Amino acid sequence: MKTTTETPVGLEESMAPFARVRLLLTAALVTTSIASVPAAFADTAAAPAVVPALQSWTPGGGTLALSDRTRIVVDGRDPAAVSTARTFAADFKAAKHRGIPVITSLGAAHRSDIVLLHDPGRGELGAEGYAMNVGDRVEITGRTAAGIFYGTRTVLQLLATGDRLPTGSTVDVPKYAERGVALCACYTYYPVDWIDRMIKDMAYLKLNYLHLEIKVRSSRFPDINTFSYYTPAEIRGIVALASRYHVDVVPEINSPGHIDPYIQDRPDLQLVDKNGIADPTRLDVTKPAAFSFYTALIDDYLKVFPGQYWHMGADEYMLGSAYANYPQLLAYARAKFGPNATPQDAYIDFINRVDAYVRSKGKTLRIWNDGLTGANTIPLNEDVTVEYWLGESVEPQNLLDAGHTVMNASDAMYYIRGNGAPDVKSLYESGWSPEVFPGQTIASGQSGLSGAEYSIWPDNYGHETENVTQSNLFMPLRVFAQATWGSPRPTSDYAGFVALANAVGHAPGWGPAWIQPIVAGSYVIRGSQGVLTPPATAAGKLTIAWSASTWQLQPTSDGYYRLTANGLCADMSRGTANRLGVIEQEGTPATAETCTGGPTQEWQLEPVHGGVRIVNAITQEALDASGPAGTVVQQPRSVATRATWSIHG
């Protein structure tokens, strides 16, 4: 699309006047509370109330009650099935607040058990489908571990409002192979637990593809380590959780456009226009050093992303400009491909060279479609998967006919943080499907159509906290999951679907939307270097001193706090902004400003060993007492060394 050694008092001790930590689970913006199942959904003759709806349902006319004697039964000789059973058991416990044993002998199954069966011979179930029969016990059969897993998601949804399951049977197979979410953790940082919640909710909705445009902290190229980045350990944790929940993680480093997070300090790699002006957002694809740099980044990423795909973005290379402004591209193309070559051939050539490199690593390349305008003379390699988001002269059917796998990444399914969500009511009631692309609707049933993805972009994230984003995504993801599973809509209108979705709720273990661990009041905030001290006037810096200074902590409706003193609010709005207008730079001093109610004046209190970490709701960096002359600055959680604070009433 950027000097004392006082030990801090622990959080519980710091809140001694309150006797214990109080958890205030704010609901002001949450539209996802568990409601009673509407009467129509409780009818045992009707299809079970799940999202996405089942492909078919043959009712049994009764219900099966699960009890304290219910077990999960699986063949212990099948490691993949056993792993799925253990994940199911953990989620069952999170949902029902009681344990359920896993029995690894199919012969031990009895009434009211949940039996997981792996049958590779059930070809009609495909790679992710399952058969489920509910009688005097539950039997879930999958040809693969993924199929068994999705059957367990159906059971968890059916148990969202009680301990009884409707009797009956289904064969439930997804229509589309890829049902994805694209998260641009670019120019911004979504905490790992936010992404973990996304993964669990995706799996609960039978979504299986997480496309992450994300920066990984590099030891090889330390100059790219400007926040926001994720440590290799954080990435490994995300990938491990996704694997357990049958979500494929696809990494992206966007190139040759939108690559400024990596080359903003590398003018030697930037594309220079005919007036001699270098553009840090564009890689000069004519330079061998540029290709070497990009493939070196790929090598580093593949150490922590073991999946089968690599996404290079490739969108908007000429956004706001034209190839004619960069004559070196035409010269390069004609030197390599002859006098009839066009400047776009240089761009296509770069993609094809990256594709060859990715294939040499055993991966498949994916790109966005908007650079494929047809102005090239050399073809795009056929094996490249194209994610189609913007209507162009080269349409989805053209790409399918040329042999490409195509995913629908329609901008009708875009959530722009700070600018709102798509009109999912209209999308639901119109019956939107992955065949409906921008500018063209294709025939159903074509094997090259892989599915669709819902995209989350940070364009205006300085005006919207991640908690608000998280809340606003609830219904769009459920509408999208319904469309991409491809089953009949469970309700005729959107209002009915909202009621169903609210009844099913979030995934087990998703947790509260947010936690506010301290009640409103007046507090001293103390760190190992002294007391957090406000300035007397606006625009002054927060500092450390040993004088007694108090702050008012005021919980906000979206799960944060405002820190006020002297009529001013602690803020992160001064400094060098990134291209999306946020003060992202590490080491920027925190200030106190006139209170505006803006999101840069909101702060998370994250319990950690010895106290709390105070993290800005927009920059996602922690207050750290490591600045010069006693100033308090922001630092990423992973490198902050003086960011533990105790709160005293």
**CA–CA distance from 149 to each of 46, 74, 394, 450, 579 (Å)?**
24, 12, 38, 21, 42
**CA–CA distance from 615 to each of 287, 578, 619 (Å)?**
41, 18, 8
Specify whether the CB–CB gap between 454 and 182 falls below 8 A: yes
Q: Tell me which DSSP letter residue 283 carries.
A: E
Specify whether the CB–CB gap between 552 and 34 falls below 8 A: no
Q: Distance between CA 469 and CA 626 in Å, rounded?
A: 31
**CA–CA distance from 298 to each of 72, 110, 224, 359 (Å)?**
42, 51, 14, 12
- Give the orientation angle of helix 145-158 with respect to helix 79-96, to 10 degrees: 10
Sign of the C-alpha dihedral computed for residues 33, 38, 42 and 47 taken in this order: negative
Q: Distance between CA 53 and CA 486 in Å, rounded?
A: 9
Give strand pairing partners of 623.
Answer: 634
Which residues have a Cβ under 8 Å from the Cβ of 462 and sit 6 or more positions away?
A: 418, 580, 581, 582, 599, 600, 618
Which residues have a Cβ under 8 Å from the Cβ of 229 and sit 6 or more positions away?
A: 189, 215, 216, 217, 636
Q: Distance between CA 229 and CA 221 in Å, rounded?
A: 13
Residues in the chain: 649
Which letter, b or e, does each residue of 314-339 get, where b requires 16 or more Cβ atoms within 10 Å of its Cβ? bbbbbeeeebebbebbbebbbeebee
How is residue 588 written in tokens?
Answer: 């920027």
**Residues tagged active-site:** 316
Q: Distance between CA 485 and CA 462 in Å, rounded?
A: 34
3-class DSSP string for 451-489: EEEEEEECCCHHHCCHHHHHHHCHHHHHHHHHHHHCCCC
C-alpha dihedral (157, 162, 166, 170), degrees to nearest 10: 10
**CA–CA distance from 460 to each of 456, 465, 481, 582 (Å)?**
11, 10, 25, 9
- What is the CB neighbour count within 10 angstroms for residue 482? 25
Q: Distance between CA 105 and CA 100 in Å, rounded?
A: 15
Specify whether the CB–CB gap between 326 and 278 falls below 8 A: no
- Indicate the residue type of 147: G
Specify whether the CB–CB gap between 256 and 315 falls below 8 A: no
Q: Tell me which DSSP letter residue 520 carries.
A: S
- What is the CB neighbour count within 10 angstroms for residue 590? 29
- What is the CB neighbour count within 10 angstroms for residue 171? 18
Sign of the C-alpha dihedral computed for residues 336, 337, 341 and 343 taken in this order: negative
Which residues have a Cβ under 8 Å from the Cβ of 29 and sit 6 or more positions away?
A: 467, 468, 471, 513, 557, 558
Among the listed residues 536, 601, 619, 514, the one whose alpha carbon sits nearest the alpha carbon of residue 563: 601
Specify whether the CB–CB gap between 642 and 527 falls below 8 A: yes
